Structure 1
């Protein structure tokens, strides 16, 4: 097992010279010129997972495990991940840098301030909001209707108290209005950062953002504020991918971090394209499960970047499958093959979903020392019976040694021909695109629209944005929009309550059920469990 290396040594492994990097100490760096002389010929592997449970699945862990295992068997590769948001770090989930011996370094830095990318985004987003309110205060030459401002302020912390507030109150402070804060990683500017191909594309998309409407109902774009250069001053280094390493000293790019339940859930095109130019195999992950992050990876990110992925990995654990089979969290330490068998329905639906995109699929079972042998045997028996390719991965406890079979099976599948295809044609009406996603991936019986959503959809169609991809905002805890419907539910409807147009990101967000763009903290936040840094 290799040791932690100086970041210059990590870069050297993928032919990066010291002059190619902007150093952030000994353990972190930024890529100085990730936009030039690109030849993205590598093969692209997506890591996704079954529907998440409190037992955890380990999607990031299994992505790191694959990176380490490929290097161990002599195959250079690159891993591209999202930057963790402070919201989940201090909220329910905690950090997002792997587990055990399949982990990133330096994990605390990555989980917290890192190189300041999310801070730069937060500042940029709030600058836009401040300029909007100042413009109205200073005479409102654009005739912006304060009741129809669509740009939201942000904070990268879960804070339900900011979901609905009154701003500009008090004499001389502007026109009072309602404001709804979002978490930073749900903002359109984060999506733009991750879907832009270079700084010029970032500026183009940013100028196209719709910040609100006039009193006459006309669109007002961010370009009218003439602050794109100020935004670029804040964002110019944030557009550069970050280089870190695994505990075994293997290279990892971290860049961008949109949520997959309320945004498109993928790391940046800039980092992925650069990685595909530097390594024969590139691994990336998309948030949550196949019907959320993976669907958006294929239909939004790959469409924008012209990527053609070669393989998808579905991550599962015995405990998570048992939870889908009806076992409570407190009873997971008891053997229960019947529940495991029932829970495989969830895995099967995800496997079927991914097959719709024409890519090869490998199931990676994230093993733990306290898994029951009989349950593992049943899992293997069922994988063989269903004709699924699979690998048992023990990298959490054994490091890259526990992922050798995993790496070899990935390499073998990458030699096979793939026929990637999108799930829908963007020229179809928005309602038809939503129906395809809901019925083919979620297995919904039907789709219902609120009156508000129908009014918003009519406006989006009238404005000519009906040919954009759809970004579904939905609970990650179920195939449905009801987090209580576990495993692989049937006979349910999806309710679209609201539409939001992301003209700069080039997609239409459809909000379902009770999904929120500003999360709240749980009763016992992860922040309470943190130990003092000494």
Structure 2
């Protein structure tokens, strides 16, 4: 059986100009990056107002869910039923590509391409974000070194450095050693690039002017008198903006079946808001009859954040929501060992199904129609499929079986037909909370209504930060909860659908440029580490430039 990269390399792609033509874009509206990639010039002039479909999932497991693969295959399925469709996805981070997940462009016959380029630097957006972020770091330390006119307290510099690879050694560092000519010694550390506020800012900006304004608002440090210092105070807003002048433009590629795909931005949903740029999503909505986007990790993270953070910035809510699940993953939630997932076990499936059930009810409370896509594996049995169908019907929604990995778009035709009907229904969107509510009220609503918890416990540090946030009037922003993706709780080992637990908040971080408050819970890290056997160990390239092992 061919690997994903072999399937991708064997596919003949269309010239990117042909893909752009399908969207009504002419050559003046795109900037070509070779034959198969392009950036979209802003502002993007189109005349569509397409339906928006959000794809989310159950909590991820080692058994695999295939949310991105399903999203891509679903986009191709619309083509098979003669509907004009465009996809909007996040860009892969080099950390997971070289770490445990490998490539992040779909799988089997449902992929975006050229997959090697997309997984490896693509059009340079992530390097640009990394450079802009670290340029700001250098400018902060330079300001302190040369007199510190703003009275910045080196012990309270909030702006860490970033690198787009999992590197646990850089989580905590000491900088400025080497004497007077080497700066002022202080504690520092690195986050992964996708955790940078600049990533969030880029993904939530409507245009270059909005980007510039948001960059200027970013909080970077505090003075000795506990006053906040922003990028605008440092006077470097313009410099950061010009480093991102190309990165802000959405990227256009295609699926293996030549469906247009906008891929832009890539914040993780466990440590950031987990959605591609609103510019990419708007580009899909404005150039196709149906736009499909996905949110990172489970519906408790990326799904909630798309609906409560991203949707208001887009100015449009989803017309339908797809929750992706697999029988294998639900059996794992039901206590089955990973090595035994291929064996039929209806009892374990039904024991793990409440994880899906909670995600269904969570998404339904927003008022939009919900459908469950069961991503088919060859080990699924008729008894398991029947049992899961009955469970899902009892939740008040429909389940549709899909098989896009082996069949491409043809494997999701039934789902596409179902969504066409759902998108024509009229529904009232219900946000989970209002931004003018108290910060703790907003956190409690997410914890109780989405996670199934009963209590929020703030550390002494978080309590002090909450008072500071309220004092400066930063409390009327949405909350972006940083939490493990593997569980509804803040403990990654608690699978299924636990109830009546406590979420432990250790820190509150105001992200004034992005426009939300990051709520750090449990032991979630903003700089991951590499696994025992990184995917990088299996990658290679020959003298002809042919890549192997990327996935």
Deviations 1:333-359 (Å, cap 9, x if unpaired)? 111111111111110000000011111
Q: What secondary structure does 1:495 align onto?
A: strand
CA distance in 2 between counterparts of 1:29 and 1:280 reads 21
Q: Choose 377-386 or 233-242, whichever is displaced more.
A: 377-386
2:61 aligns with 53
Residue 536 of structure 2 aligns with which residue?
527
User: For residue 507 of structure 1, what is the aligned residue in structure 2?
Assistant: 516
Choose the corresponding residue for 2:439, options 410, 426, 430.
430
Q: Secondary structure at the match of 2:215?
A: helix
Deviations along 1:305-336, one digit per CA (max 9) or x if unpaired, are 32221110000111111111111111111111
Q: Which residue of 2 aligns with 1:167?
A: 175
Q: How does 1:54-453 map to 2 (within 5 A)?
A: 54-171=62-179, 172-453=181-462
Q: Structure 1, residues 63-89: CA drift from partner, whole Å, max 9, x if none?
A: 001100001110001100000101111
Deviates further, 503-512 or 417-426: 417-426
Contact kept in structure 1, 2:48 and 2:289, CA below 8 Å: no
Select between 183-192 and 93-102 the one with higher mean Cα deviation: 93-102
Query: In the alignment, is the contact (CA less than 8 A) between 1:310 and 1:420 conserved in 2?
Result: no
- What is the CA distance between 1:531 and its match in structure 2? 4.0
Q: Secondary structure at the match of 1:79?
A: strand
CA deviation after TM superposition for structure 1 residue 93, in Å: 1.8
**2: CA distance between counterparts of 1:362 and 1:8?**
34
**Residues 231 and 40 from structure 1, CA distance in 2 versus in 1: closer, same or farther, beyond 3 angstroms?**
farther
* Superimposed CA distance per residue, residues 385-419 of structure 1 (whole angstroms, 9 cap, x where no aligned partner): 43321211111111111111011011111111121
Say how many residue pairs are matched.
533
For 1:271 and 1:375, locate their aligned partners in 2 and report how far apart those are by CA, in whole Å: 38
Q: Tell whether the 8 Å contact from 1:52 to 1:289 is kept in structure 2 after alignment.
A: yes
- SS in structure 1 of the partner of residue 526 of structure 2: coil
Partner of 1:252: helix, strand, or coil?
strand
SS in 1 for 2:238: helix
Residue equivalent to 1:25: 34
C-alpha spacing 1:40/1:73, structure 2 compared with 1 (3 Å) = closer
Return the alpha-carbon distance in structure 1 between the equivalents of residues 434 and 28 of structure 2.
43
Q: Distance in 2 between matches of 1:76 and 1:531?
A: 38
Q: Please report the TM-score for the alignment, with normalisation by the length of structure 2.
A: 0.95
Q: Is the Cα–Cα contact under 8 Å of residues 29 and 44 in structure 2 kept in the other structure?
A: no
Distance 1:489 1:532 in 2: 46
The whole-number CA distance in structure 2 between the counterparts of 1:230 and 1:459 is 29
Alpha-carbon separation, structure 1, partners of 2:45 and 2:76: 27
CA distance in 2, matches of 1:344, 1:387: 14
* Alpha-carbon distance, 1:38 to partner: 5.8
8 Å CA contact retained: 1:30, 1:243: yes
Give how far 1:368 is off.
Answer: 2.1
CA deviation vs aligned residue, 1:187-221 (integer Å, no higher than 9, x gap): 11100000111100000000011111111111111
Distance 1:308 1:406 in 2: 20
Contact 1:442 1:479 in 2 (8 A): yes
Structure 1 unmatched runs, 5+:
none
Q: Is the 1:368–1:396 Cα contact (8 Å) retained in structure 2?
A: no
The answer to whether the Cα contact below 8 Å between 1:498 and 1:511 also exists between their aligned partners in 2 is: yes
| 1:228-266 per-position Cα deviation (integer Å, ceiling 9, x unaligned) | 222222111100000011011110000000010010000
What TM-score results when the alignment is normalised by the length of structure 1? Answer: 0.98
